[in-house]
A and B are shown apart, each in its own frame.
Chain A
Amino acid sequence: MKRLLFLLRKEFRQIIRNPFMLRAIIGVPLMQMLILVPAVTFEIKRLDLAVTDNDRSSASRELISKLSGSSFFRTTAAPLNIATAESLLLSGDADMVLVIPDDFSEGLAGMTKPRLQVLIDAVNATQGMLAWSYLTSVVRDFNMDLVISQGGAPKVIPGISTAPRYWYNPTLNYKHFMLPGILVILIIAIGLMLAGLNLVKELETGTLEQINVTPVSKWEVIVSKVIPFFILGLFDLALGLTVGWIAFNIPFEGSILLFFACSAIFLVAVLGMALFFSTLVSNRQQYLFVAFFFTMVFILMSGIFTPAESMPLWAQQFNWINPVAYLMRINRMVMLKGAGFHEIARDIGMLSILALAFIILAIRAYRKRA
């Protein structure tokens, strides 16, 4: 036990003396919060719209101005023919093309059936779908105005009307959805990268061999690496949360204590994983590769961008051993929904089992032989 204190003192001395470490501890949470949170968004604004207006009537101009007037579209080009329009779509200068046929105003006057053609760049399927639904809602508005202007009262369509109330994130603010997830990534960056690299560096420089030839036990080595990075991780979490709160006025519905307790369990799991990985590799390049690979898999499968519930069954089963998936869910539940212990008890339980398992795995895999 006393040995552990000597080892811990050594770790803290090394951390304090390492200027890179200090910069990383302060810089990483600031960068992640201030850059990633506002940057990672699925909201679509200002789609580049190219309009080929073959009708050139007041009606077509009105439609165009209605489209550009919404915050979703920006009319960036008016190609004369469809071939030019297609090339704009291909080069990415336009996200969608609206073709107004030359009989558009005639159609509106009731002579033919009025039609519009829309071409959408659907490489990003989500964006394509959204662009389409934005456009149809603007056209529907346009229709309504038309009916009114022609003196007809807007018909009340009989039937069921629905009016949504968006709960837990009433303004549908994407930042509120992303920030709890970015905080999880922050913990991974500190836990998985810094702690693992620290142990592998000792392996590379040969100091670990010297430690291995002393009577220090395996658990003392592992715990002496876990504790300092555990403290750093929680410090960074607090820093990140504070920055998020100041910069984006993130609501915090649930208990901060519960939030930190869950993050602490997660951090132990991540540190266990980091130290386990570091026993499998022989240098820092290898470690970085392994850590990067697993980080990517764990994060993408965790449901940070896409709902984990709509993933294929095998992916959902994989998430049983994915600590990131648990904390991703817990953070959003606690921060946005104000969930208490009861609502997340199962996730906390699973996360605790994983944390314990990874630590035991790290201690067992550590060889005092080098």
Chain B
Amino acid sequence: MEKEKVIEVKDLVKRFGAFMANDRLTFDVYRGEIFGFLGANGAGKTTAMRILCGLSRPTSGRVTVAGIDASRRPEEIKKRIGYMSQRFSLYEDLTVRENIELYGGIYGMSMKVIIPRREALLDRLSFTQYGDMLIHALPLGLRQKLAFAVAVFHDPEIVFLDEPTSGVDPVTRRQFWEMIYETASHGITVFVTTHYMDEAEYCDRIAIMSEGQIAAIDSPSALRKQYGTASVEELFVKIARPQKSKT
């Protein structure tokens, strides 16, 4: 069966003055897969992701997300995606229910649709008792899970997660990844950046970025085999920082 491409990137370049943040990136992401974007801080992961989300425009190259050209119609892309940023972005002075309601409304859902979906969601996450609490009263782990749930509340085609688990304890990270799997099982494509190498193993495919370029891209097992390493972590050290070993 031919796999459907949901993100197509060809020769993407993003330049900030003399600095080349993204240097001719070319890759595809298929519908329903969990695609991991790995790289050291400053490797250009977030820059590329922001272009895919329509928050930033490419300097050159062709970027298509959900069939829409990211340079020309970024606002159309925004209707079809969900996004969870590195910085926590729910409203801390609104309750859990009010945050879900707000984002549901922003994506064009009516209260009639929002309320039953919201209650079902709270129930599924066992969050019902937190429903009327203000966000700033919740522990970080719960907030992150909720932020993810809000990002996919409107059933986007793709959800972008920018280092969603930084600063979260291992148990919550585990639960978070269970949520990601569940989301992917409903056909939502998950595009996730991370610098936790163990998380990379959970992805269907990964791209390893180094200095604005994609150094390797394939499934974690294929890459391990290709480079003859036991873990993604070793793999990462091997290809993401080759010049380090030279010096």
Residue ranges of A at the interface with B (Cβ–Cβ < 8 Å): 2-3, 5-7, 9-10, 13-14, 17-18, 205-207, 209-217, 368-370
Contacts and interface: CB of A to CB of B under 8 A. Distances in A.
Contact of B79 (A10, A17, A212, A215): A215
Contacts of B74: 368
B93 interface: yes
B89 interface: yes
A13 B94 contact: yes
Interface in B48-78: 53-57, 74-75, 78
Contacts of B91: 10, 14, 207
The main secondary structure of chain A at its interface with chain B is: helix
B222 to A, nearest CB: 32
B221 interface: no
A370 B74 CA distance: 14
Size bin of chain B's contact surface: 20 to 34
B56 A211 contact: no
Contacts of A206: 85, 87-89
A195 to B, nearest CB: 17
Contact of A215 (B55, B78, B87, B93): B78
Given A6-B101, A206-B85, A368-B75, A211 B93 contact: no
Contacts of B108: 2-3, 215
Contacts, number: 75
A10 B98 CA distance: 8
A213 B78 contact: yes
B81 A17 contact: no
A209 B106 contact: no
A217 B91 CA distance: 19
A116 to B, nearest CB: 69
A213 B55 contact: yes
Interface centre among A210, A211, A368, A369 (most CB of B within 10 A): A210
B106 A213 contact: no
B42 interface: no
A264 to B, nearest CB: 28
A279 to B, nearest CB: 15
A211 B105 CA distance: 12
Contacts of B93: 13-14, 17-18
B75 A13 contact: no
B105 A209 contact: no
Contacts of B75: 215, 217, 368
Contact of A2 (B56, B85, B101, B110): B110
Contact of A210 (B79, B85, B107, B134): B85
A3 B75 CA distance: 15
A369 B56 contact: yes
Contacts of A3: 105-106, 108
Interface string B157-185: 00000000000000000000000000000
Contacts of B107: 214-215
Contact of A213 (B54, B57, B87): B54
B106 A214 contact: yes
Contacts of A18: 93
B127 interface: no
Contacts of B202: none
A206 B88 CA distance: 7
A217 B55 CA distance: 13
A56 to B, nearest CB: 75
B106 A369 contact: no
A13 B98 contact: yes
B103 A214 contact: yes
A210 B81 CA distance: 12
A216 B89 contact: no
Contacts of A209: 55, 85, 87, 89
B228 to A, nearest CB: 40
Nearest to B76: A215
B190 to A, nearest CB: 16
Shortest Cβ-Cβ A-B pairs, 3 listed? A6-B105, A206-B87, A210-B89
B6 interface: no
Contacts of A7: 102, 105-106
B148 interface: no
B89 A10 contact: no
B100 to A, nearest CB: 11
A206 B84 CA distance: 11
B35 interface: no
A368 B50 CA distance: 12
Contacts of A10: 91, 94, 98, 102
Nearest to A16: B93
Contacts of A217: 75
Contacts of B83: 210, 213
Given A10-B94, A10-B102, A369-B55, 10 more contacts: A3-B108, A6-B106, A205-B87, A205-B89, A206-B87, A206-B89, A210-B83, A213-B81, A214-B78, A368-B55
